[in-house]
Structure 1
Amino acid sequence: MIIGIPKEIMQGEARVAATPETVKKFCKDGITILVESGAGEKSYYYDDQYRNMAAELVSDPEELYRRSDLILKVKEPQYNDIKEKHEIDMMHEGQYLITFIHPASPGNHDMIRKLAAAGVIGLTLDGIPRISRAQNMDALTSMSTCAGYKGMIMAANDLTFFMPQMFTAVGMLKPANVMVIGVGVAGLQALATAKRLGAVTYAMDIRPDAA
């Protein structure tokens, strides 16, 4: 089994599909790991770290796609401006693709048809059920948790006043009021983060059972 981990090419995407520690576990199981050079740099994982974990560094994404039995990515396949071809055009029939495909998104329907025409077997991470047996594969919940936390930190940074209640020499400052719309995984984490920062929190959701 050969697993390929390409560099993400979607604009603004800084994540990588596997850390050096994950690669180490794969290699211990006898799996050959190909990592595109620079794949982890934006996540502060560098080529030498992957190399030290027995991964093979590949500079050409076309070679990586050609040699791999399974492609592990963060985001759905994109058009590669440097290679002037779509990532799907680098894949081959019978190859597996594990990534966030987002098949329900109308904007991805053409891409999904292109995957099917190429004979690529796609497994979408956003389709994993939220049950105990699948919890260790539930990357969507983990990413939503990160988004809720980081989103609230960024919101607090942009405020022109403090989040918590404060007593100063010139009087009291009231805490910020924070409204979070939608109490899914991201929303709940945003609420928890705002609460820890000292804000008064409110939530809204269209689902009656979310109350």
Structure 2
Amino acid sequence: MIIGVLKEPSFESRVSLLPEAVAALTKKGHELWVEKGAGALSFSTDEQYRQAGASLMDRDQVLKAKVILAMHAPAGGSLTPGTVLIGIFQPLYQFRLIQEWAAAGLTVFSMDMLPRTTRAQSMDVLSSQANIAGYKAVLLAANTYSRYLPMFMTAAGSIAPAKFLILGAGVAGLQAIATARRLGAVVEVFDTRPAVKEEVMSLGAKFIEVEGAADASSAGGYAVEQDAAFQAKQQQRIAESITRADIVITTAQIPGKPAPKLITNAMVNSMRPGSVIVDLAASTGGNTSLTKDNEVLVHDGVTIIGNSNLSAGMPSDASKLYGKNLQNFLQLITGKDAVLDLNWEDDLVKGTCICYDREIINDRVKALTT
């Protein structure tokens, strides 16, 4: 099977496959076509791809491959009907584009729609990238913050440790907790899912409990919408904690809907000058009322960083993990002799596929387009 790897847009430093992943797929009998310069921002040269067994081509040539790997929706050039497109396409937000792809006869797999089951863990791109985002969020906050993170006792006096508040204890939140604790900070954590309390506490953080949350056990690890009574209690507890916080990292998102507004302007105003907020939900509206996607702003001395693409700040390892996720998924959809073999009885194949045979087949996306 011919697999094409596209160069990503200028804002993206990651690539779908590093040379090591190309070599592994080549050994399995696949033919790899890589767009020239695709790995440059991930510190992988065209020569390294050649040595791994890939053919380096112009974009128009790569687009003729049977399977196209691209993290973001490809721009420029045209795809022929029957082409299989695999990436992170956010179909719950980009459903108009999905309609166009379905009409064009493309088979589209969006890895962010992969069912989050135990069997899917090795293919879970959201988790692999969120882990990096949580780590980078703490480093970015520490670099922006005007004080130390750990406690220091010096001849000139003592420095109190920084206080973190992390909203959301998913993969990104848990990594943020671990990283902040390693750097010596004091950490409080809020999450609507009581089930994560034990994991939060095992990392050395304090868990803020609010009773009455809606059951999120069937939401695949995501937050779910809460009723008005819970939201009121939630806001009160967050307001109490945020006045003590020096750094806040927010990660809460609800698939297919705007990010919940957890931090009001009044809460931001209650923080002391020099405090920092890193909002990882910026691309879906942000968890604060002031967040601007891909922007850094200062409100009454509080720096608010809106960045949902922090994993791209570590392009080498982010690409390595993403590529391994794709290798495992490609193994799922290819049979003997490295040919495409789509088993629609497999819940991972069916759940990840968005459109096939000129129809949108994912129920959640279909509901948005009718």
TM-score, normalised to structure 2's length? 0.52
User: Which secondary structure does the structure 2 equivalent of 1:104 belong to?
Assistant: coil
Please say if 1:122 is aligned against 2:121: no
For residues 55 and 153 of structure 1, what CA distance do their matches in structure 2 show? 35
Please say if 1:202 is aligned against 2:188: yes
Specify which of 134, 142, 154 is matched with residue 156 of structure 1: 142
User: Which secondary structure does the structure 1 equivalent of 2:63 belong to?
Assistant: helix
Please say if 1:189 is aligned against 2:175: yes
Q: Which has the higher contact order (CA 8 A, sep 6+)?
A: 2
Q: CA-to-partner distance for each residue in 1:54-90, whole Å, 9 max, x for gaps? A: 10000x2111102x0000111233x34xxxxxx5xx1
Specify which of 77, 90, 101 is matched with residue 89 of structure 2: 101
For residues 80 and 148 of structure 2, what CA distance do their matches in structure 1 show? 54
For residues 160 and 101 of structure 1, what CA distance do their matches in structure 2 show? 37
User: Which secondary structure does the structure 2 equivalent of 1:115 belong to?
Assistant: helix
Q: Which amino acid aligns with 1:97?
A: L
Specify which of 104, 117, 120 is matched with residue 131 of structure 1: 117
Q: CA-to-partner distance for each residue in 1:139-177, whole Å, 9 max, x for gaps? A: 110000010001111111111111000111111110000
Offset, 1:44: 0.5
Aligned to 1:76: 73
For residues 129 and 147 of structure 1, what CA distance do their matches in structure 2 show? 21
Among all aligned residue pairs of Structure 1 and Structure 2, give the percentage whose two residues are the same amino acid.
Answer: 41
Report 1:158-173 matches (<5 A): 158-173=144-159
Report the number of matched residues. Answer: 197
Please say if 1:2 is aligned against 2:34: no
User: Which secondary structure does the structure 2 equivalent of 1:113 belong to?
Assistant: helix
For residues 5 and 71 of structure 1, what CA distance do their matches in structure 2 show? 6
Aligned to 2:61: 63
RMSD between superposed Cα atoms in Å:
1.3
5+ long unaligned stretches in structure 2: 198-370
Higher alpha-carbon deviation: 125-134 or 44-53: 125-134
For residues 174 and 51 of structure 2, what CA distance do their matches in structure 1 show? 38
TM-score, normalised to structure 1's length? 0.89
For residues 44 and 187 of structure 1, what CA distance do their matches in structure 2 show? 28
For residues 183 and 114 of structure 2, what CA distance do their matches in structure 1 show? 32
Bigger fraction of residues in strand? 1
Aligned to 1:83: none
User: Which secondary structure does the structure 1 equivalent of 2:109 belong to?
Assistant: strand
Aligned to 1:35: 34
Q: Which amino acid aligns with 2:5?
A: I
For residues 24 and 88 of structure 2, what CA distance do their matches in structure 1 show? 22
